[in-house]
Structure 1
Amino acid sequence: MLTPRVAAIHDLSGFGRCSLTVAIPILSAMGLQCCPLPTAFLSTHTGGFEGFTFLDMTEEMPRVAAHWKSLDLRFQAIYSGFLGSVRQIDIVETFIRQFCREDTIVVVDPVMGDDGRAYRTYTPQMCAGMARLAELADVITPNLTEAAFLLNEPYEQLPKDPEGLREIVTALSLQGKRSVVLTGVSLQAGKTGAMCYDAASGQIETVQTDFVAHPLHGTGDVFASVLTGALVKGDTLVSAAGQAAEFVRLCAVRTVEQDLPLREGVDFEPLLGLLTQDSLRKATGAEKMS
């Protein structure tokens, strides 16, 4: 039996834990073959580092896709993250249409902004393109800022109460056509996690774990990578989100307790054994709320 394959479409930083340097080891530890399609190569990630180099891989992306198509490669998941231009969004949209099969899970992490603001490279045209790309997804993983962009609503007017958040994930589901994992949701003091709309069941559940009050880079990539891996392995949406939230928490706690440089991202490598051994799958420790 072939090892399940995940096409991971992200940028690659030579230093700093994010994007492909997170996705490749996490998916591999979970027993999956990660097939990277880099959108760009950077010397370091852009959070906290100055003077980094940047190599745009836009021209190479369709060539890679064409070669993979000629080899009749098949993927159990297609997983995309931060994209650098409208053209890259169009290329990923074409890739999904070319490679998506009945058994393919499409996960789009619509990385566009945080704290109510778009990232500096994201124009209104790019946000509209990302919303279009997300329409092809089986699962999307926006934070509240990205949810506002996808819904074309002012961030400041988004409700933060449980009932309002339920309305948000329901609206993001496009009338039940796709599953939604809304990240950065906190329903209790000292807790954070995600609210999940499962398109298969129509149910909404929330996972919450202890909050680590430090600015940590790459946690969204860690979360989405574990989530994708768990979904490919057959876990339910809420179980996958619970595993992802708990793994992020454990990595954040380790990073802070060891007093490691925060700008380098969470120190997840020593904890990969938890994913290999399915320890989180058996008992995540995450609290579920219906």
Structure 2
Amino acid sequence: MISAPKTVLCIHDLPGFGRASLSVILPVLSALGVQPVALPTAVLSTHTGGLGTPARLSNPGYGPAALAHYKRLGIRFDCIYSGYLADAGQAHLVQQALELWPDALAIVDPVLGDHGKLYSGLSDDMIPAMRGLCARAGLILPNPTEAALLLGDVPSASPSLEIVAQQAARLTTLCPQVVVTGVPAGQRSIACVGAQRDGGGFVSRSSFIPRLYHGTGDIFGAVVAGKMMQGNVTEAAVQTAAAFVIECIRATPEGADERLGVWLERALPLLNSDREGPLSPVRRGYPE
């Protein structure tokens, strides 16, 4: 008997142009053999990172109505993966999903800020809203700025690996598993710092490529969710996700507009061909 694919409810924004959020999360999960179900928190003409003011579709009644429909259909979600929220009130939408499917693995990317500051357009009330969601999650994926904001610390634009490791351990009082992503680890490497409430933890280092593309965090989180649905432990899922993001960057020609995201289309087949464990971080050739 063939087992049905695992199903992930993805609560993120949907940009029409620009590789970010649901536009990259859905193909990544599908390539990993997982069925994604999109629940947009906002529908935008583009993502919000440097492409002007996007057109926005807003219907606050859609999300709760969609969840009720899924429940009536008897859909079983194995994972609920949330990210960008348009406002603090949308935290209630994620909470509603977690209440309807309490057995699902809850992964929260607490999208709050980066480079030592809160994202423009987000108000301070988003911090306690995200903190409340993190308290109900099984795994959270903050960057160093978000880790500090969740803890009530003053965020730094360039925190040390040691400080981040301490913050990750402190965050386990909020959520049992924490992975702080995008941590500076010297001039040539970047790290993910994992911590668990039982005292376990890890540091996973990757090569640092000095190019900043929108949407790479969404790709990372989607690979983590997909790999965990395949049965991988958190550390292995993180290693594969970091290696795949590197491949996505390498697949993108230098000089390409960083606002538009990585050229995911070139790298996506690697997720299907990774049969023997984490993607190798060695350079692969891509057609010009």
TM-score (norm 2): 0.92
User: Which residue of structure 1 aligns with residue 261 of structure 2?
Assistant: 265
Tell me the alpha carbon deviations over residues 237-259 of structure 1, each in whole angstroms, 9 at most, x when there is no partner. 111111111111111122144x3
1:226 match: 223
Whole-angstrom CA distance in 2 between matches of 1:57 and 1:142? 28
Residue of structure 2 in register with 1:84 after alignment? 86
Q: Distance in 2 between matches of 1:214 and 1:75?
A: 35
Structure 1 position 39 matched with structure 2 position 41:
yes
Does the residue aligned with 1:124 lie in a helix, a strand or coil?
Answer: coil
Q: Which amino acid aligns with 2:55?
A: T
**Structure 1's 153 and 195: CA in aligned 2 closer, same or farther, altered over 3 A?**
same
Matching residue of 1:173: 172
Deviates more, 1:40-49 or 1:139-148: 40-49
RMSD: 1.9
Contact (CA 8 Å) 1:139, 1:179: kept in 2 or not? yes
How far, CA to CA, are the matches of 1:135 and 1:40 in structure 2?
24
Q: Which residue number corresponds to residue 123 of structure 1?
A: 123
Question: 1:274, 1:280 within 8 Å by CA — same for their partners in 2?
Answer: no
Partner-residue secondary structure (3-state), 2:125: helix
Q: Where in structure 2 are there 5+ consecutive unaligned residues? A: 283-288
1:246/1:280 contact within 8 Å kept? no
Distance 1:87 1:206, change over 3 A: same
- 1:164-185 superposed Cα distances (whole Å, 9 cap, x missing partner): 322111111117x521110111
Partner of residue 285, structure 2: none
Separation (CA, whole Å) in 2 of partners of 1:225 and 1:69: 23
1:187 maps to 185
Task: Give matches, 1:106-145, under 5 Å.
Answer: 106-145=106-145
Asked if structure 2 preserves the Cα contact closer than 8 Å seen for 1:105 and 1:232, the reply is no
Shift of the alpha carbon at 1:49? 0.8
Structure-2 separation of matches of 1:72 and 1:195 = 37
Q: Which letter maps to 1:208?
A: R
Shift of 1:279: 4.8
Q: For 1:81-107, what per-residue CA distance to the aligned partner results, in whole angstroms no more than 9, with x for missing partners?
A: 000112211111111111121xx2110
Shift in Å at residue 75 of structure 1?
0.8
Which position in structure 1 is the counterpart of 2:27? 25
* Cα distance change, pair 161–181 in 1 and its aligned pair in 2 (3 A): closer
Tell me the amino acid that sits aligned with residue 149 of structure 1: L
Q: Deviations over 1:112-154 (max 9, x none)?
A: 1011111122212111111101111111000111011110111
How much has 1:196 moved relative to structure 2? 1.0
Q: Which runs of 4+ in 1 moved over 4 A?
A: none
Identity %: 35
Q: Who is 2:160 aligned against?
A: 160
Q: Contact 1:4/1:75 (CA < 8 Å) preserved in 2?
A: yes
Is 2:115–2:156's contact at 8 Å kept on the other side of the alignment?
Answer: no
- Number of equivalenced pairs: 280
Question: For the residues of structure 1 that align with 2:215 and 2:119, how far apart are their CA atoms?
Answer: 15
Alignment pair present for 1:241 and 2:243: no
Q: 1:57 to 1:43 in 2, by over 3 A?
A: same
C-alpha contact (below 8 Å) 1:255/1:266 kept by paired residues: yes
> TM-score, length-normalised on structure 1?
0.91
